Amino acid sequence: MQGVNRQVILTEKPQEKLSLANFALAEAEIPTPAAGEALVRTRYISLDAANRAWMQGVTYRSALNQGEVMAGGALAEVVESRDPSLAPGDIVSAETGWQDYAALPARRLAKLPKLEPLTHLLSVYGVTGLTAYLGLLRVGDPKPGETVVVSAAAGAVGSIAAQVAKLLGARVIGIAGGAGKCAWLTDALGLDAAVDYKASGGPGDLRRQLRGLCPDGINVYFDNVGGDVFEAALFNMANHGRIVCCGAVSQYDKAPPPHGPRGVPGLIVTKRLKVEGFVVMDFYDGRDAALAQLRKWVEAGQLKVQEDVIDGFENLPAALIGLLAGDNRGKRMVKIA
Ligand SMILES: NC(=O)c1ccc[n+]([C@@H]2O[C@H](COP(=O)([O-])OP(=O)(O)OC[C@H]3O[C@@H](n4cnc5c(N)ncnc54)[C@H](OP(=O)(O)O)[C@@H]3O)[C@@H](O)[C@H]2O)c1
């Protein structure tokens, strides 16, 4: 196919905070698919906190190295197929990286239903929604009347996890950065309370605020951030509480901290806590049922889907830097075509 394939290259791995200087725009030829492959055009590129974690080294995927096209997932459209399972016009989920076109093996392309709005396939019906739903139910297992605390609660995963916990009958407290986000969590999403960790006077103050809001302790803490916020929640856990270790965004965009959170492992022992990490794919046996339940709630108007769509390929690096700084509300993505 004739034309230009715009790409964003990770020119240098950040030592501390990610900046625009770590990226460069480039142009390449549009690749030609081999037998068994399809050529796809990216429509929406997903911005994920994990994009930054991949630059630190091996995670649940191989490390991202300098000089490579920036890695990332996308919703893409098949433009040419050399595999019988796919045809031009099909919408797929794919690890395309930050570029207009990619030629990928058909077995690595997941064909998706053509629903409207298409963006929901990246938010509530994508990895985001599945992570929130499956992580909360499989690890946290909240019971009606229990207290659930969610961090990065105004973000993509957090805003869904918090609402799902509410729908399951829990009392839910969100932690987020900024008064505007906190007001949105209580007024628009119906959470019982929200704490602005950026306005708190440090970890001790955050711990005290959580104690005031959770006098009987936290039964389930859905942790998206790690660090000081994790520590504040840990000290407020109820006996037999469950900590869902979903991610550690507070640690991704800086050098490793000199020490870990206090209370580990002592409080885990004395409070008989379950602390369990997961990667969403671990629970994909429950994927279809989860999607069906999420869809029911969305269609009934019980689950609000918040998306933050930025227009323009060239805005990808700034959109990721902004996500790590907390500029987003809900699922951030960049519209490419
Ligand atoms: N385990 C899995 O399978 C899986 C799958 C997907 C995502 N995840 C994890 O889920 C978490 C959320 O990811 P996402 O892609 O949905 O991003 P997101 O929550 O939409 O965006 C990240 C948010 O993190 C918050 N944040 C940034 N720095 C922080 C800090 N130092 N302390 C507290 N909060 C901070 C910001 O909100 P504020 O304004 O509130 O600071 C920002 O909006 C990440 O930890 C990610 O790695 C895990």
110-111 and 91-94: which strand pairing?
antiparallel
Q: What is the distance between the alpha carbons of residues 150 and 79, in angstroms, rounded to a whole number?
A: 40
CA distance 244 to 236: 15
3-class DSSP state of 252: helix
For residue range 101-159, list pLDDT tens digits in order.
999 999 999 999 989 999 999 999 999 999 999 999 999 999 999 999 999 999 999 99
Q: Which residue has the tokens 């009347």?
A: 145
Alpha helices, H only, the chain: 49-53, 127-135, 156-167, 179-187, 203-213, 227-234, 249-252, 266-270, 287-299, 316-325
178, two tokens: 């900024």
**Which residues in 84-154 belong to E strands, given as ranges?**
91-94, 101-105, 110-111, 147-151
Q: Which residues of 129-139 are buried (b: 16+ CB within 10 A; e: fewer)?
A: bbbbbbbbbbb
As for ligand 1, residues whose beta carbon falls within 6 Å of it are 48-50, 127-128, 131, 152, 154-158, 176-178, 181, 224-225, 229, 246-250, 278-280, 323-324, 326, 328, 332
How many A from CA of 2 to the centre of ligand 1? 39
How confident is the model over 250-277, as pLDDT tens digits?
999 988 888 889 999 999 999 999 999 9
**Top-confidence residue, 114 or 77:** 77
Task: Compute the radius of gyration of the chain from its Cα atoms.
Answer: 20
Which amino acid is located at 311 in the chain?
D
Confidence of residue 63 (pLDDT cuts 50, 70, 90): confident
Closest ligand 1 atom to the C-alpha of 157?
16
Question: Chain-wide mean pLDDT for the chain?
Answer: 96
Pocket test for ligand 1, best of 56, 224, 329, 334 (most atoms within 8 A of CB): 224
First to last CA, the chain: 17
CA of 77 to the centre of ligand 1 (A): 27
Average pLDDT for 28-44: 98
User: Is the overall model pTM greater than 0.75, yes or no?
Assistant: yes
Whole-number Å distance, alpha carbon 247 to ligand 1 midpoint, is: 7
- Which atom of ligand 1 is found nearest the CA of 278? 1
Residues 272-322: tens digit of each pLDDT: 999 999 999 999 999 999 999 999 999 999 999 999 999 999 999 999 999
| Residue 154 CA to ligand 1 centre (angstroms) | 9
Find the range with the poorest average confidence among 63-67, 231-235, 319-323: 63-67
